[in-house]
Amino acid sequence: MKKNKLSPQNGLRDEYRRADFTGPLVRGKYAQRLREVANIVVLKPDVAAVFPNEEAVNKALQSLIAVAQATTSLKKRSSVRGKKSRAA
């Protein structure tokens, strides 16, 4: 009787050769598509050290957005008053 070869459960072999692939091998073939579809942000190591997880990063950024929106919605004083007092 013939022995059946045991194949890995995920269908991948331990090693592959170029001959196993029909077309040309291109490094980063799907990199641009991944950038368009995924919203991945890479933090610098010193910034990443401050935040333990993504929830902490999101909270910090949301509070920064709230502060920025609050400060940009403040209106400047009318310059009409300043002009009248100078004229007198």
CB-based contact 32:38 (threshold 8 Å):
no
Give the residue ranges of DSSP H helices in the chain: 31-37, 45-48, 54-72, 80-87
**What band does 6 get if pLDDT is binned at 50, 70 and 90?**
low
pLDDT tens digits, one per residue of 46-84: 999 999 998 999 999 999 999 999 988 766 666 666 555
State pTM to two decimals.
Answer: 0.44
